[in-house]
Structure 1
Amino acid sequence: MAASRAVVLLLLAAFCCSGLGAAEVSPCHPRSYGADSVVCVCSSDYCDFPGVLQAGPAGTYTSVTSSRDGLRFHVESGSFSQSPSNASVVVHVDDRYEYQAIMGFGGAFTDAAGITIDSLPEVTQEVLLRSYFSPEGLEYNLCRVPIGGSDFSTRPYSYDDVEGDVELSHFNLTLEDYRYKLPYIRRAKELSEKEFMLFGSPWSPPAWMKENGHFNGSGGLLKEMWQPWSNYFVKFVKQYEAEGAPLWGLTTQNEPLTGFEEDYPWNTCAWTAEDQRDWIKQSLGPALEEAGLRRLKLMVPDHSRNALPWYPATILEDPAAALYVDGIAIHWYRDDVIGASVMDETQALFPDRFLLYTEACDGSYAPPGERVVLGDWSRAEHYAYNIIEDLNHWSTGWVDWNLALDTEGGPNWAFNFVDSPVIVDKEKGEFYKQPMFYALGHFSKVLVPGSRRVYASVSSPSDTVSVTAFHNPADNTSAVVILNSGDAAEVVAVGVGVGGGTHFINVDIPAKAITSLLFAPPEADGESDTNNGVF
């Protein structure tokens, strides 16, 4: 195994580059499949890497752009100006006004992702993992793992399918964990130079613990199983940590409201907010505390915006339950119909709890045969718009769904196929970085954990330009991410407060493009405080 790993690393050295110019040295190998944009093809012979991005000297900036027309992490640099230059859009940034801190970005280690990655040659598997987790890749640091099976498994299962085993004496991890999840989690942790934070989410208890006796369908947890199910959480954490996969957090239940839907097709468990509140304070919280696991970040409800703010409020307004809950986990699936104002309401009610997007994917509502669309820029734009909106409404990060899927959008035992930022063609032994991959990278590469969101606004009227901005107090650098969803290029002037005035970054953003800016502010003329902006 050691010799095999050595060969892998030697082969990678032939094309893995780092440094500011890595995007030019290691560009996208594009391929069109007939959509409006391209995928970037990666194999054991070649793959593109964005490299390590750093802010230059004070008064300069680095811009990184991806576009529908084929740019992928295209890097340029420039200097601040005293005035906007023929700008069609003006953005104002003021880091005197700070909001939530970034926790991170990432994806999920599902069975399907592991099965798909495992189908590649060993060298190519390493390339894929480096593309996500290494300093020259997307630098993912916050990831999710299902506790047992999910729809993105090849079968419904739990860690104890022995009927009536309330003592959990038969509890054990499965082949899926040992072959398809744990090895890739351990390697991701090794590759990441950031703190690697992993959280677990259950889709369903063992079927015998549920009212309907099935993993899917409608029905909740039998009340007499509240304590065995809590003990199940503890056993999962301890076994994963014994296997070299320490946990940072847990969610109480994936999408608890789906368990009230008749004939729900895949793994679920219904929880009313009241029952989950009582279970947390009576069983789960004390079980975690007794096991010495209260250090884990516990999140509710792990559901879409239609559960905000009422579901977490029911739990957090009870002091005994609130004692055990650290954050509010959100999914993106109703975002197109439920506005972000519910996030503001939730944050205002519970300002001492973090909000975090814990699942998103595109293609789930597409017709059969269109769940995966290779080279679809609109899905990248959908991701970027959503991430900007969520960050601007208090989310501390954004966790994608499957890290990789096959060309059908699976495997998935319930046939719930979807798209993914990485699609694997096991027959060709290669994988494709979708436009969504780069959309995510425009945030994960420049928004460092600990960076705080700052005030940003688009002053010139624009229906097509969206923006979010962050300041990293650790090194006094800032990052601004701009989405141009329009069909025309825009000249954007980003005004940054310096001393008593404003300096500008003037940047051309192509049509249908995402640009990330990384910079240290220029020195103020005759001023010692370079961070105060007045507009």
Structure 2
Amino acid sequence: MIHGKILLFTAAIITAFSPISGCSKKDSGGGQVVTPPKPDDDDDEDPKETDVVFWLTNPDKTSLFKKQNVSLKFESPNTQFSTIEVNDATTYQTIDGFGYTLTGGSATHINKLQDATKDALLKELFKADDTNIGVSYLRISIGASDLSASTFTYDDVPAGQTDINLENFSIDKEKTDLIPVLKKIIALYPEIKILGSPWTAPVWMKDNGAFKGGSLKAEYYQAYANYFVKYIQA
């Protein structure tokens, strides 16, 4: 069993962010403009003293999600657009965290890495300290997503059959890749929040009997609710 906070949503979107703090202004189409520096090829150089930390990926692949050891430069071009001043002394809603989606495909690729490389990657992504990103929110699919190697739910039965009591419920397909990666992540960041998001209900609960499209039949509302309970308990 994986111990962690899991939130269930039937539809959700999480956008990936790198942790950037201490910025007092943003670009509004021509105000302050962030100028990406050239990739830092000197891995031995000490990081510059700055309160802005960022990882860079270039289209030409000269830098692939690489932490930069140079200061982020801001320029103020002379344009007709106004500059937005952000008053960080006034606050409103709170933010639970920032993060990514961990798909089954991603977990498979991560697990194919050598142990040392895998541990280094997960540490950089999820360790919450001054030198790593410290992702605080993670979205995972309940069953297969569109980026999984195959289509499945946690209660699949032969065509024409049903399983209202969920006797065939099983998360065994996640035990090869997703669950081992999740356990490593939680060990690095025990406070991480996990959002569980289903791509589809079991096809025997749907009016089109298919993974793609269709709607949940009303007679299976309770069975689908129980499906989520079993997911959390598993």
Report the TM-score range of the alignment, normalised by the length of the smaller protein: 0.5 to 0.7
Cα pair 2:124 2:133 within 8 Å, conserved: yes
Distance 1:200 1:39, change over 3 A: farther
Q: Give the TM-score, by structure 1 length.
A: 0.30
Distance 1:159 1:40, change over 3 A: farther
Q: Give the TM-score, by structure 2 length.
A: 0.65
1:62 alignment counterpart: 51
Matches within 5 A, 1:488-527: none
Is residue 236 from structure 1 mapped to residue 231 from structure 2 by the alignment? Answer: yes
Per the alignment, in what secondary structure is the counterpart of residue 144 of structure 1? strand
2:126 alignment counterpart: 133
Question: Which is greater in Rg?
Answer: 1
After TM superposition, give the deviation of residue 171 of structure 1 in Å.
0.6
Paired AA for residue 153 in structure 1: S
Matches within 5 A, 1:104-143: 104-134=97-127, 135=129, 136-143=131-138
Task: For 1:236 and 1:209, locate their aligned partners in 2 and report how far apart those are by CA, in whole Å.
Answer: 16
Would you say how many aligned residue pairs link Structure 1 and Structure 2? 180
After TM superposition, give the deviation of residue 190 of structure 1 in Å.
1.4
What percent identity do the matched residue pairs reach?
A: 30
Matches within 5 A, 1:58-457: 62-64=51-53, 72-76=67-71, 88=77, 92-134=85-127, 135=129, 136-162=131-157, 163-175=161-173, 177-192=174-189, 195-216=191-212, 218-239=213-234
Spell out, residue by residue over 1:178-209, the C-alpha distance to the aligned partner (whole angstroms, 9 max, x if none): 1211111111111127x210010111111111
Per the alignment, in what secondary structure is the counterpart of residue 179 of structure 2? helix
Paired AA for residue 167 in structure 2: S
- Structure that is richer in helix per residue: 1
Cα pair 1:64 1:75 within 8 Å, conserved: no
Q: Give the unaligned 5+ runs of structure 2.
A: 1-36
Spell out, residue by residue over 1:454-476, the C-alpha distance to the aligned partner (whole angstroms, 9 max, x if none): xxxxxxxxxxxxxxxxxxxxxxx
Paired AA for residue 204 in structure 1: T
Distance 1:203 1:66, change over 3 A: closer
Paired AA for residue 187 in structure 2: E
Task: For 2:147 and 2:194, locate their aligned partners in 1 and report how far apart those are by CA, in whole Å.
Answer: 18
Paired AA for residue 94 in structure 2: A
Distance 1:228 1:196, change over 3 A: same
Spell out, residue by residue over 1:106-155, the C-alpha distance to the aligned partner (whole angstroms, 9 max, x if none): 11221101111111111111111112101232100100111011111111
Cα pair 2:40 2:69 within 8 Å, conserved: no
**Superposed CA RMSD:** 3.5
Per the alignment, in what secondary structure is the counterpart of residue 100 of structure 1? coil
Cα pair 2:144 2:199 within 8 Å, conserved: yes
Distance 1:66 1:120, change over 3 A: closer
